[in-house]
Structure 1
């Protein structure tokens, strides 16, 4: 198990998470991080609102709008923690609507037990993994693989219970950044749920990260996903902070 570290603040942890789920293009507006990833996921296609944009907030809203419009993307802002309230008010004043809260959960990285089912880890996602990851319930767009593999140290976990070409039973993605394991893309096929597969892939990812000296783990879950929140609470995760997205009218 890795050594314990001092807890990170909201901005620091969000910057770690941004490196773990990187956009295909990035830019800066003062301290704010502009990100574009072909429209795949809010995180890779939103401005991370942390710190000072270097211009008055109404001007920052206009600059963000221009940056995304020039790239053919719907503008989007990720607003984490209480520190972003003033900026959130500026986006709201411009008519940007608010999405539901997303919880950022953290836990110390414990030495996880051996998963109860075989979990395969790979440096890149194969077609079976990409098919098994159901982003918002649907298949992935072509740009997804570029976003998923853009981080420096990522691993892709999969559980196969039935012989190929049967679909995978579960998949997940892990990424290691500055001693933090980020867990994303946890997907369990509907017919295999409530069998401990999410716990198994989480354990495999934590063992992988522990071997590399990781000390903590973070993940994100939407506030309305009660089953996932209960699963992570049982696993020892606590809420670090929340964020939400704002977007202008379509």
Structure 2
């Protein structure tokens, strides 16, 4: 595997794979808004330096999200302690850790189950992706297809109207496969389907020149961490969110 980039470079790379519907540069920081769907598409990515001093930057970010009716949110890859302290001093609350894992795209066995790959998510795929265990909002599709050339993997074990058994999404950015939205329907778990969609995405990425994979997973998601450990993933770094004040209702 080629040399793994540093934290800032890897975070910028990952941000290109999952974009807001609206994005704006603020110095080195990246403001993103996507109708409230997912933290990554609705947070300022705090890497590098903002356009103003840190206390002023926190106020500017607060205003940017509040004007869009969104709760201000900052994604803070560690170890940027100064920026984290500035948000904390302004009363932004800290959320749980998310691990950023990386692995080479080598040694993955071919999928044992047929995996369908498509350039866009159909209605069955969108129903199969249970973000935080809930159905997707209407705005979700726009966020999912906002990155260049995504691929949507799915496994069907039973004919319709049965739901898809598993889904996942992949995007290749500068040789890195960024995997998101890995979901296995509860009734189909413990059949190796998550491993199958990962293998299919890995083969697809290698055919496009991919050499490595990265993904994000909640620090307390033990089953996912066990799966990714078996595939050779190791922790690169962590990030967490800081949540600002809830915006006042319009009017």
Residue aligning to 1:209: 205
Partner-residue secondary structure (3-state), 1:100: coil
Distance 2:237 2:110 in 1: 30
Counterpart position of 1:28: 25
The CA distance in 2 between the partners of 1:170 and 1:140, in whole Å, is: 16
Contact 2:72 2:245 in 1 (8 A): no
1:155-166 counterparts in 2 under 5 A?
155-166=151-162
- 1:176·1:209 contact (CA, 8 Å) conserved in 2? yes
Q: Does 1:153 align with 2:174?
A: no
1:51 paired with 2:9, answer: no
Alpha-carbon contact 2:108-2:231 (below 8 Å) kept: no
Spell out, residue by residue over 1:6-25, the C-alpha distance to the aligned partner (whole angstroms, 9 max, x if none): 21000100011100001111
Q: Which residue of 1 aligns with 2:68?
A: 71
Question: How many Å separate the matches in 1 of 2:129 and 2:51?
Answer: 38
Return the match for 1:40 from 34, 37, 40.
37
* TM-align CA RMSD: 0.8
Partner in structure 2 of residue 134 of structure 1:
130
Aligned pairs for 1:67-216 (under 5 A) are 67-82=64-79, 84-110=80-106, 112-216=108-212
- Give the secondary structure class of the aligned counterpart of 2:227: helix
* Distance in 1 separating the partners of 2:39 and 2:51: 24
Q: Normalising to structure 1: TM-score of the pair?
A: 0.97
SS state of the match for residue 208, structure 2? Answer: coil
Listed one character per residue, the Cα deviations across residues 79-127 of structure 1 (whole Å, up to 9, x for unaligned) are 0020x21011010011100000000000011153321111000000000
Question: Could you say which residue in structure 2 is the equivalent of 1:7?
Answer: 4
Cα distance between partner residues in 1 of 2:117 and 2:109: 16
Gapped regions of structure 1 (runs ≥ 5): none
